[in-house]
Amino acid sequence: MDWGMKNRLSRIINPRSGRCVMLAVDHGYFQGPTTGLENLGKTVNPLLLYADALMITRGALRNWIPPTTDKPIVLRVSGGQSILKELSNEIITTSIEDAIRINASAITCSVYVGGEYEKQTIDNLSRLVNEGEAYGIPVLAVTAVGKELVRDARYLGLACRICVEVGAHMVKTYYCKDFPEVVEACGNIPVVIAGGKKIEEKAALEMAVNATKDGAAGVDMGRNIFQSDNPVGMIKAVKAIVHENATLSEALDIYRTPHEGSRILQ
Ligand code: 5RP
């Protein structure tokens, strides 16, 4: 692996621990003004201090994030569909030149294995990997799940392994039963988990604890952080799990501590 590629990857995934807390706020690219991200800057800027990396689109980045930030950017470069249409119908929206101009530390697209436009999304990933290899920019493949697909180790293992074989440098997927099998099938490629739809804070933290125990390199979590009643408490709790192997009870104590923007009733 080239020096530039290694350097960018090590800005995202801590080279000593092999772990990462990535904050995902790219939802608007197909969901529009997602709850909590209507004024993206107001929500995200207080959380940035605790994130190792930020996953975001170029438009949101230029609108709401100060260019003085030192956080590595994982730039969402796919899109082209909305929640009103077939989700797998994605194209590449952002050129590699613009990703370089933005100083992205990685680029990312979704891969819809089993989706109507499966081949198109695998083609998107292949093109990003080819461009990323040319310029030393790692690619995060997001295994996106179609509506009626079961999120089990068999399916997620299939989706993740295809991304690895195409050349992704990191994979984002969902936590599931038998998760170690999914991780094993990815070889040396780090696997981070998505949070998915907002669930109770305790359940989201438990998922992070189990995922890291089961071999995840950390999280790329969005709604379960920024839609929490205590977003700063939540990201600090997730960070303690990922970087300090905090237990569920330790993480819950951190989440329950009032922080700026907390709506937890005391
Ligand atoms: C879509 C995505 C999301 O936009 C987002 O990054 C998911 O994060 P979370 O599920 O934790 O809200 O990756 O496939």
Mean pLDDT of successive 10-residue stretches along the chain, which has 266 residues? 95 95 97 95 96 98 97 97 92 98 98 94 98 98 81 93 98 97 97 96 98 98 97 97 97 89 62
In the block, tokens 């790329």 appear at 220
| CATH number of the domain where residue 128 is located | 3.20.20.70
Distance 224 CA to ligand 1 centre (A): 10
Residue 231 located in a structural domain: no
* pLDDT confidence of residue 266: 47
Q: Closest by alpha carbon to 110, among 162, 150, 43?
A: 162
Residue 253 located in a structural domain: no
CA distance linking residue 202 with residue 221, whole number of Å: 15
Distance 172 CA to ligand 1 centre (A): 9
* pLDDT confidence of residue 35: 95
Number of domains observed in the structure of the chain? 1
Contact criterion met (CB below 8 Å) for 119 and 88: no
Distances from the Cα of 92 to the Cα of 89, 121, 172, 196, angstroms: 10, 9, 18, 23
pTM, two decimals, is 0.95
Residue 221 located in a structural domain: no
* pLDDT confidence of residue 117: 94
Residue 169 located in a structural domain: yes
Closest residue by Cα to atom 4, ligand 1, is: 27
CA distance linking residue 135 with residue 123, whole number of Å: 19
Residue 118 located in a structural domain: yes
Range of the domain at 88: 3-192
The strand pairing partners of 192, in sequence order, are 172, 218
Q: Closest by alpha carbon to 194, among 182, 69, 185, 184?
A: 182
DSSP 21: E
Distance 260 CA to ligand 1 centre (A): 24
Residue among 55, 191, 238, 242 to mutate when testing ligand 1 (max atoms within 8 A of CB): 55
* pLDDT confidence of residue 5: 96
Residue 55 located in a structural domain: yes
Residue 62 located in a structural domain: yes
In the block, tokens 């990312």 appear at 108
* pLDDT confidence of residue 264: 64
Contact criterion met (CB below 8 Å) for 197 and 222: no
Active-site amino acid positions? 172
What ligand 1 atom has the least distance to the C-alpha of 29? 4
Query: CA 230: distance to chain centroid?
Result: 20
Residue 74 located in a structural domain: yes
